[in-house]
Amino acid sequence: MQRWRQIGLGLALMLASLAAQAFHPSDDDRLTLSGFGTLGLVHSDNSEAEFLRDISQPRGAGEGWSARVDTLLGGQLGWRVDPRWDLVVQGISRYHDTGDFRPELSLAFVRYRPDPALQLRAGRLGWDVFQLSDSRYVGYAYPWVRPPVDQFGILQLTYIDGADVTFKQPLGSDLVRLKLYAGRSDSRIYVRDDLIADFDADAVYGGHLDYEHGPWRLRTSYTEVHSDVDYSGPLIDEIDSLQLPGLDGERQIESVLGFSRLRLFSLGALYDSGPLQVQAMVNRTRTERQRGRIDSALLSAGYRLGQVTPYVAVSRIMTSSTHPDDTDIDQRTWTLGTRFDVASDIALKAQFDRIDTRRPGFLWHTDSDWEGGWSSVFSLGLDFIF
């Protein structure tokens, strides 16, 4: 893991050095600097559990207001070597698995485009497992305050270190796009307050097929993840403290969760025409053990009225296995919100989520014996790009 971080940082330093050498007033279009960010506030009425944006966050929004869930800042540096070659580095500061806002290298790749139909990239890439997943931290790019948690909050990885290839083929006025990728990654997820899973994903591979027809964009995708998973936390210590013959805390948890091999399937459809935008998605993740399964679905619709875009969404997530335990999830969310485009690069959003949590699982953090129920979450977000 450390070796790959060093490689990524090396790419970033190399790009910065090359860009500095190449930049001068007569050809400054070769060097581009851009950024994005979100100033977010979340209010929850749940006094027993903390609302999370995704499972990498060790803390969430408890009862009252919190700015940690959605606030972030990102910057991207690009250098166009020539019409075929370019390099990109991106960093993000957000509240993540370290428990603070420590900046992280989210992208660092070299791209080669020999012709408009073919693109190859190598380095640190976004995990493009389904629609919007590789840009889920760029709030300005979507209508919601955050991507729906039932759909995007369970993603185990934020990037892969590897390579991808994209093919594009026009079909009359339509377009077919195929992307294939492979690499590795690492991450940490907080399964519950007393259980942490550290992923060392030594093999991540898959791809997706997009079909664009007029206002429609359809996608089908498949990804497989093979990981060595290390579990830690008070739950492991408690199991090990029993000192029963043949009882190992990590092995016991792995026999239930089975996170070492994941297969992800996704179908998505996006309709964007005039003022109307509709998005629908269904996903299924299968785990290695106990016939584990995670099913999620999303339906969202927005309608632009000048600078204002009201939107509604409904989403659901369920997990199941032949060995269910209290990490299972059964949750539905109804969302109502509005986006106001203050300027061409600034959007103000307000959103209300009504959440029916029938089995809490690992989308919440709680120190109590909370068994679920209804929660109301109100969010404000100011998204910007520059």
- Residue with the bigger pLDDT between 23 and 116: it is 116
Which of 147-156, 304-313, 317-326 is predicted least confidently? 317-326
Cα 295 to Cα 15, 153, 261, 331: the distances in Å are: 40, 13, 16, 11
Give the pLDDT confidence score for residue 114 in this predicted structure. Answer: 96
Give the pLDDT confidence score for residue 173 in this predicted structure. Answer: 94
State the Cα–Cα distance between residues 269 and 175, nearest whole angstrom.
15
The C-alpha angle with vertex 144 and arms to 141 and 148, in degrees rounded to 5, equals 110
Q: Report H helices in 242-332.
A: 249-257
Question: Is the per-residue pLDDT at 220 higher than 80?
Answer: yes
Contact 281, 268 (CB under 8 A): yes
Question: Is the per-residue pLDDT at 215 higher than 60?
Answer: yes
DSSP 3-state assignment of 328? coil
Give the pLDDT confidence score for residue 252 in this predicted structure. Answer: 47
Q: Select, from the ranges 19-23, 316-320, 359-363, the one with the highest average predicted confidence (pLDDT).
A: 316-320
Residue 83, phi then psi, degrees to nearest 5 = -60, -20
User: What are the structure tokens assigned to 361, written together?
Assistant: 């699982």
Residue among 62, 67, 57 nearest 45 (CA)? 62
Compute how many other C-beta atoms are within 10 angstroms of the C-beta atom of residue 186.
Answer: 18
Please, which pLDDT band fits residue 253 given cuts at 50, 70 and 90? low
Q: Residue 72 falls within a domain, yes or no?
A: no
State the Cα–Cα distance between residues 61 and 65, nearest whole angstrom.
7
Cα 291 to Cα 92, 238, 331, 351: the distances in Å are: 36, 26, 20, 36
Q: Residue 2 falls within a domain, yes or no?
A: no
Residue keyed to tokens 């500061």: 93
- Residue with the bigger pLDDT between 194 and 166: it is 166
Cα 16 to Cα 87, 184, 353, 361: the distances in Å are: 10, 24, 42, 43
- Residue with the bigger pLDDT between 161 and 13: it is 161
Please, which pLDDT band fits residue 18 given cuts at 50, 70 and 90? very low
- Mean pLDDT (the chain, rounded): 86
Give the contacts of 216 (CB within 8 A, at least 6 positions apart): 269, 270, 271
Give the contacts of 131 (CB within 8 A, at least 6 positions apart): 217, 219, 266, 268, 270, 279, 281
Q: Which residues pair with 333 in a beta bridge?
A: 315, 355
Tell me whether strands 373-385 and 364-365 are parallel, antiparallel or unpaired. unpaired
Q: What is the mean pLDDT of residues 310-336?
A: 85
C-alpha torsion sign, points 59, 60, 61, 67: positive
Please, which pLDDT band fits residue 325 given cuts at 50, 70 and 90? low
Cα 222 to Cα 205, 217, 219, 261, 296: the distances in Å are: 9, 17, 10, 14, 15
Q: Residue 80 falls within a domain, yes or no?
A: no
- Residue with the bigger pLDDT between 253 and 384: it is 384
Q: Residue 99 falls within a domain, yes or no?
A: no
- Residue with the bigger pLDDT between 243 and 304: it is 304
Question: Is the per-residue pLDDT at 323 higher than 90?
Answer: no
Give the pLDDT confidence score for residue 29 in this predicted structure. Answer: 73
Q: Residue 73 falls within a domain, yes or no?
A: no
Contact 227, 199 (CB under 8 A): yes
Q: Residue 112 falls within a domain, yes or no?
A: no
Residue keyed to tokens 């999303």: 298
Question: Is the per-residue pLDDT at 251 higher than 90?
Answer: no
Contact 10, 113 (CB under 8 A): no
Question: Is the per-residue pLDDT at 8 higher than 60?
Answer: no
Compute how many other C-beta atoms are within 10 angstroms of the C-beta atom of residue 11.
Answer: 22
DSSP 3-state assignment of 323? coil
Q: Residue 267 falls within a domain, yes or no?
A: yes
Percentage of the chain surpassing pLDDT 70?
A: 82
Give the pLDDT confidence score for residue 108 in this predicted structure. Answer: 97
CATH of residue 198:
2.40.160.10
State the Cα–Cα distance between residues 37 and 51, nearest whole angstrom.
21
> For residue 253, what are the domain limits?
39-67+118-133+142-385
Separation of CA 328 from chain center? 20
Q: What is the mean pLDDT of residues 142-164?
A: 93
Question: Is the per-residue pLDDT at 5 higher than 80?
Answer: no
Cα 289 to Cα 19, 191, 320: the distances in Å are: 48, 16, 11
Give the contacts of 17 (CB within 8 A, at least 6 positions apart): none
Contact 101, 93 (CB under 8 A): yes
Give the pLDDT confidence score for residue 341 in this predicted structure. Answer: 97
Question: Is the per-residue pLDDT at 142 higher than 50?
Answer: yes
State the Cα–Cα distance between residues 7 and 41, nearest whole angstrom.
35
- Residue with the bigger pLDDT between 230 and 279: it is 279
**Residues 90-141 pLDDT 10s:** 999 999 988 899 999 999 999 999 999 999 999 999 998 888 888 899 999 9
Give the pLDDT confidence score for residue 112 in this predicted structure. Answer: 98
| Global pTM value | 0.85
**Residues 61-77 pLDDT 10s:** 988 999 999 999 999 99
Residue 157 is given by DSSP the state -
Which of 23-32, 279-288, 372-381 is predicted least confidently? 23-32
**Residues 285-316 pLDDT 10s:** 988 765 678 899 999 999 999 999 999 999 99
Total tally of structural domains belonging to the chain? 1
Question: Is the per-residue pLDDT at 237 higher than 80?
Answer: no
Give the contacts of 276 (CB within 8 A, at least 6 positions apart): 301, 302, 303, 304
Q: Residue 27 falls within a domain, yes or no?
A: no
